[in-house]
Structures are given as C-alpha cells and as structure tokens.
Amino acid sequence: MSQGRCNTAILVSGSGTNLQAFIDRSQAGAISLDIGLVFSNRGNAFGLQRAKHSGLETACLEHTSFPDRESFDRAVAKLIDRREAQLLVLAGYMRILSPWFVQHFEGRILNIHPALLPAYPGLHTHERVLEAGETQHGSTVHFVNEALDAGPRVLQGRLTVDPNETAAELAERVQAIEHQIYPQAADWFATGRLRSRDGMAYLDGKPLHEPVIVDFPDRAG
Ligand code: GRF
C-alpha cells in the first residue's frame, strides 16, 4: 500500500461495474485508496476477471462449501485481515452478513443500495419504483449494520423517474450514478472525513441525520 492511502477490500458477487469504477479512480489517483483485495463468493463472478485484468489480488471462497453463514464469514474475514484491509466495500456482494462479521469490521463496511433508502430495501428496486409510480429514485451509500439495508446513510444520488422508461433503462441510469457516488463516499472514509459511531455516520465531525443528497440531471430526450 502506498503511504497514506486506505487499504481497501472490495467484495463482489457479479458483474462488478462498481468495482471497475473504483479501479479506474484508484489507478488515476482520483481517490485515496488502494484495492488490496477483491474477494468473491462466486468463482464465476465477472468482477474477479476485472480485478485480475487490472493486476489486483483476488480471492474466492464458495459459500456452498461451508456448513453455516458464520463459519464462511470467519474464513472470509481471515483473508481480509491477512491483507490488513482498513475498509470493506460491498459492491454487489449478494450475501447476508452474519452478526459476527458485521461486529468484527464494525464501522468499516460500506454498501451501496439501488434505491433512496429507507425506501425500497431488498431486491428488484427499479421494478417496484416504476410500479409504484414514484417520481424520484436513486442509490444510497450507507454503513453496514446487522439489519439489511438499514445502516447509517451517507450519500444519495437522486434522479427524476421518467414514467416511460423501462426498469432496465432506469437501472442503467442508477448504476451510472453509483459509479460516481460510491467512490466519492469511500474517498471520504479513506481521507478520514467519514466515520460511523454508535449507529450514526459523521462527515467532517458532524452527524449525518440525513444523508448528503446529490441530484443528477434529467434523462435527455
Ligand atoms: C449495484 O446496482 C448495487 O446497487 C447493488 O448491486 C449492484 C452491483 O452491480 N448493491 P455491479 O456488480 O457493481 O455492476
């Protein structure tokens, strides 16, 4: 790790477009973190290929070969601790974390969820947003606690929903926002500006009772 840069482990289960955004920004020196490990619970995750292509260290453990959630999580934690990662970035990591894992890395795990939390936790957010006729949607970076999609919120990217767009089009727009806000929030952590304590996120020492919200331009055309 270069001096002063935050050693980060990124956990993926799938395509890894968010991982790619971190790789690009880290290599360009635009964010103060180094990716010390890319971990996946799926051997065929395309994110692992992206990492290898960029010369990053990778590791994979299939959760199916462990008897229960915690024993798997303990093995994953061992891999991460061996690299002395200071920050964990969940980037499409499709595993519910055991309480043990969350406590072990308390205040050091970030996640991104494709909705304006606390609205629409869980899966299929774009479809549900369109079905409900919502006018706004987006994505949320938050610290991870033991409850699903419910940890202290940090940063939201927000857009106006076009009622004529499909769920796939909406997903694409939300992902483009994620690729900007996620590295940004992680950089706040890497530079010591962002912390989590007693169930609250703090930015520059001030409690974030509401997340920072960035509005993105309307859909063209
Ligand atoms: C993202 O949309 C993120 O919000 C969710 O999982 C997706 C991961 O996509 N947690 P990718 O693998 O980074 O392309």
What's the chain's average pLDDT? 96
Q: How far apart are CA 153 and CA 155, in angstroms?
A: 6
Contact 185, 141 (CB under 8 A): yes
Q: In this predicted structure, what is the pLDDT of residue 37?
A: 98
Residue 118: asked if its preceding bond is cis (omega within 30°), the reply is yes
Q: In this predicted structure, what is the pLDDT of residue 2?
A: 46
196 by DSSP, 3-state: which?
strand
Between the CA of residue 177 and those of 18, 141, 215, 217, what are the distances in Å? 10, 11, 10, 10
Among this protein's residues, is 179 annotated catalytic?
A: no
Q: Residue 124: CB partners within 8 Å, gap ≥ 6? A: none
User: Strand 200-203 to strand 194-197: parallel, antiparallel, or no bridges (unpaired)?
Assistant: antiparallel
For a ligand 1 pocket test, name from 22, 25, 154, 175 the mutation site with the most ligand atoms within 8 angstroms of its C-beta: 175
Residue 218's pLDDT band, with cuts at 50, 70 and 90, is confident
* Alpha carbon nearest to ligand 1 atom 14, residue: 17
- Taking only the tens place, the pLDDT of each residue in 119-173 is 999 999 999 999 999 999 999 999 999 999 999 999 999 999 999 999 999 999 9
Gap from CA of 91 to ligand 1 centroid (Å): 6
Gap from CA of 18 to ligand 1 centroid (Å): 6
Whether 1 has a pLDDT exceeding 70, the answer reads: no
Gap from CA of 105 to ligand 1 centroid (Å): 21
Q: How far apart are CA 154 and CA 211, in angstroms?
A: 5
